[in-house]
Amino acid sequence: MENDAGAGPPGCQALIDEALSLTDPAGEPYARRLSGYFAPTLKEDPAEAELASHRLMIRAGLIRRLAGGIYTYLPAMLRSIRKLERIVRRALNSRGAQELLMPAVQPLELWQESGRDRKYGPELLRLKDRHGRDFAIGPTHEEVMTDIVRRDVRSFRDLPLNLYQFQTKFRDEIRPRFGLMRGREFIMKDAYSFDTDSESANASYRAMHEAYTEIFTRCGLRFASVEADSGAIGGSFSHEFMVLADSGENTLISCPSCGYAANQEKAELAGYPVARGEESPLARVHTPDQRHVPELAGFLGVPESSIIKSMLFVLEDGGPVLVLIPGDREINLVKLENALAGGRPRLAEPGEALAITGAPPGFVTPVGVRIPVAADRGVEGMLAGVVGTGEEGWHYTGARPGRDFRVDSYHDLALSAAGDPCPRCGGPVEVRKGIEVGHVFKLGTRYSEAMGARVALADGTEAPIFMGCYGIGIGRTIAASVEQSHDKDGIVWPMPLAPFEAALLPLQTQNPAVMGAAARLFRDLAALGVETVLDDRDERPGLKFKDADLLGLPLRVTVSERSVARGECELRERATGKVTMLPLETAAAAIRELRDRAL
How, if at all, do strands 555-559 and 502-506 pair? parallel
Does 186 interact with ligand ATP (rule: CB under 6 A)?
yes
Chain centroid to CA 69: 15
Number of H helices, E strands in the chain: 17, 32
The least CB distance from residue 150 to ligand ATP, in Å, is 22
Does 390 interact with ligand ATP (rule: CB under 6 A)?
no
Listed residue (330, 289, 288, 338) closest to 309, CA to CA: 330
Listed residue (41, 42, 17) closest to 29, CA to CA: 17
DSSP conformational letter for 465: P
Of residues 313 and 441, the one with the C-beta less far from Mg ion: 441
The least CB distance from residue 439 to ligand ATP, in Å, is 3
Segment near Mg ion (CB under 5 A); pick from 265-273, 386-394, 404-412, 439-447: 439-447
Distance CA 297, CA 303 (A): 6
Amino acid letter, 115: G
Does 437 interact with ligand ATP (rule: CB under 6 A)?
yes
The least CB distance from residue 440 to ligand ATP, in Å, is 9
Does 446 interact with ligand ATP (rule: CB under 6 A)?
no
Binding partner selected for residue 182 from ligand ATP, Mg ion, none, CB under the kind-specific 5 to 8 Å limit: ligand ATP
Among positions 203-232, residues that touch ligand ATP (CB under 6 A) are 231
Does 171 interact with Mg ion (rule: CB under 5 A)?
no
Length reported for the chain: 599
Q: Which residues contact 102 (CB under 8 A, 6 or more apart)?
A: 138, 141, 144, 145, 148, 165, 167
DSSP conformational letter for 46: P
Segment near ligand ATP (CB under 6 A); pick from 72-80, 159-167, 179-187, 276-284: 179-187
DSSP track, 480-533:
HHHHHSEETTEE---GGG-SSSEEEEES-TT-HHHHHHHHHHHHHHHHTT--EE
DSSP conformational letter for 272: -
Q: How far apart are the first and last CA of the chain?
A: 32
Does 442 interact with Mg ion (rule: CB under 5 A)?
no
Does 439 interact with Mg ion (rule: CB under 5 A)?
yes
Does 61 interact with ligand ATP (rule: CB under 6 A)?
no
Does 476 interact with ligand ATP (rule: CB under 6 A)?
yes
Of residues 251 and 580, the one with the C-beta less far from ligand ATP: 251
For residues 205 and 440, the answer to whether their CB atoms sit within 8 Å is yes
Distance CA 514, CA 569 (A): 10
Choice from 378, 388, 444, 471 touching ligand ATP (CB under 6 A): 471
Choice from 183, 220, 388, 444 touching ligand ATP (CB under 6 A): 183
Per-residue interface string for the shown chain with ligand ATP, residues 304-323, x marking contact by CB under 6 A: --------------------
Which residues, in sequence order, are bridge partners of residue 263?
A: 252
In 246-404, DSSP assigns E strands to 250-254, 261-263, 283-286, 308-315, 320-326, 345-347, 373-376, 385-388, 394-399
Does 237 interact with ligand ATP (rule: CB under 6 A)?
no
Q: How many CB atoms lie within 10 A of CB 6?
A: 20
Binding partner selected for residue 471 from Mg ion, ligand ATP, none, CB under the kind-specific 5 to 8 Å limit: ligand ATP
Segment near ligand ATP (CB under 6 A); pick from 42-50, 93-101, 403-411, 432-440: 432-440
Does 442 interact with ligand ATP (rule: CB under 6 A)?
no
Which residue number places its CB atom closest to ligand ATP? 473
Of residues 209 and 424, the one with the C-beta less far from ligand ATP: 209
The least CB distance from residue 234 to Mg ion, in Å, is 12
Choice from 18, 85, 113, 173 touching ligand ATP (CB under 6 A): 173
Among positions 128-147, residues that touch ligand ATP (CB under 6 A) are 140
Segment near ligand ATP (CB under 6 A); pick from 77-85, 206-214, 435-443, 533-541: 435-443
The least CB distance from residue 236 to ligand ATP, in Å, is 15
Among positions 107-136, residues that touch Mg ion (CB under 5 A) are none
The least CB distance from residue 216 to ligand ATP, in Å, is 11
Task: Give exposure, 412-433, as e/b (b: 16+ Cβ within 10 Å).
Answer: bbbbbbeebbbbeeeeebebbb
Binding partner selected for residue 405 from ligand ATP, Mg ion, none, CB under the kind-specific 5 to 8 Å limit: none
For residues 494 and 573, the answer to whether their CB atoms sit within 8 Å is no
Segment near ligand ATP (CB under 6 A); pick from 102-110, 331-339, 419-427, 473-481: 473-481
Which residues form the interface with ligand ATP (CB under 6 A)?
140, 171, 173, 182-183, 186, 188, 231, 233, 436-439, 471-473, 475-476
